Structures are given as structure tokens and as C-alpha cells.
């Protein structure tokens, strides 16, 4: 079940909170291709922990982001505020949907890496929850 994987780039941050987004070039630049390692940790699902690799492309307009999940062929809207990259989303997976409940990735000092955690919920024949630890490296 590959539905636990896309927290990093399809996730949610600041759920229920209003976030003011800067305009112009005041934001860290994160546009480009990113390779993700996702450590998937189901909490109450009938599957085991596992690690998977994914590719994302981030398009940036000021502080607003469009995150393209290359593996799934879907896109998500997000933001960068200070050194935190976040986004919201859900996607169809197998016989249900994954909702990314919380997610924020901290941009590394080198500006070529980021990482963090995502909480997710799967709704389908076997509803369950879990978290994913994301580590991303910019692809040059």
C-alpha cells in the first residue's frame, strides 16, 4: 500500500491557522527538482514500516509554491514562510483517499535539503493513521 508516502510534498501545515504569505523575492528560493526519501510509519494500519523514494518538482512564485508529485502525476499548493516549506492536499490511493493532516519541512542551511514529519489519515476499507519522516535533497 503506497498511500503513506507523499506527506512531504502533498502535505498540510498550519491546518486551521491563517498564514500570511510574503510577496516578491523576500522568500527562500526552493524551486527545482527534489529527490525524497520517505520513512513511512503506519500507527494502526495493517502494513509494516518501510522506506520509499519519490521525485517532486517545486515551482515558485514569490512565497507561493506549486508542488508536483512526479510519481503520482498530481500537484499541490503550498507556501514557504521563513525556512518552512508546507502544503496541503489529499490524493486517491488504492481503494480510498489519503489526507495529509500536518506537515512542515524545514529548509536546511545549505538550501539544498529539507526535512520534517507529516501526519496522515487513510480513509478506505481499512481506515488508519500514521506519520512519515521526509528527507529531501535538491537534484542538480
Using a pLDDT cut of 70, give the percent of the chain over it. 82
* Spatial separation of the C-alpha atoms in residues 18 and 81, rounded to whole Å: 12
| pLDDT given at position 81 | 96
The answer to whether position 90 is within a domain reads yes
* Spatial separation of the C-alpha atoms in residues 89 and 101, rounded to whole Å: 9
Q: Please give the mean pLDDT across all residues of the chain.
A: 84
Which residues are CB-neighbours of 97 under 8 A, at least 6 positions away?
90, 91, 122, 123, 124
| pLDDT tens string 17-53 | 444 444 555 899 999 999 999 999 999 988 889 999 9
Domain count within the chain: 1
| pLDDT given at position 111 | 95
The answer to whether position 2 is within a domain reads no
| pLDDT tens string 95-127 | 899 998 777 999 999 999 999 999 999 999 989
Cα distances (Å, whole numbers) of residue 72 to 19, 26, 55, 62: 27, 31, 10, 25
* Spatial separation of the C-alpha atoms in residues 75 and 70, rounded to whole Å: 9
C-alpha cell at 106: 524545514
| pLDDT given at position 25 | 57
Q: How far is Cα of residue 36 from the mean position of the Cα atoms in its chain?
A: 9
Taking the alpha carbons at both ends of the chain, their separation in whole angstroms is 30
Structural domain harbouring 66: 7-15+23-139
CATH number, domain containing residue 82: 2.40.128
* For residue 61, pLDDT beyond 90: yes
| Better-predicted residue by pLDDT, 26 or 87 | 87
Amino acid at each position: 500500500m503506497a498511500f503513506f508516502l507523499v506527506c512531504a510534498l502533498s502535505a498540510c501545515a498550519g491546518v486551521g491557522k491563517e498564514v500570511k504569505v510574503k510577496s516578491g523575492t523576500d522568500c527562500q528560493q526552493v524551486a527545482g527538482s527534489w529527490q525524497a526519501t520517505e520513512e513511512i510509519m503506519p500507527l494502526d494500519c495493517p502494513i509494516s514500516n518501510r522506506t520509499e523514494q519519490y521525485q517532486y518538482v517545486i515551482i515558485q512564485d514569490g512565497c507561493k509554491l506549486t508542488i508536483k508529485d512526479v510519481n503520482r502525476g498530481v500537484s499541490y499548493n503550498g507556501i514557504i514562510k521563513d525556512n518552512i516549506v508546507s502544503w496541503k492536499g489529499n490524493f486517491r490511493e488504492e481503494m480510498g483517499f489519503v489526507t495529509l493532516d500536518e506537515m512542515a519541512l524545514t529548509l536546511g542551511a545549505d538550501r539544498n535539503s529539507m526535512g520534517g514529519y507529516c501526519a496522515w489519515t487513510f480513509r478506505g476499507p481499512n481506515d488508519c493513521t500514521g506519520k512519515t519522516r521526509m528527507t529531501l535533497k535538491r537534484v542538480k
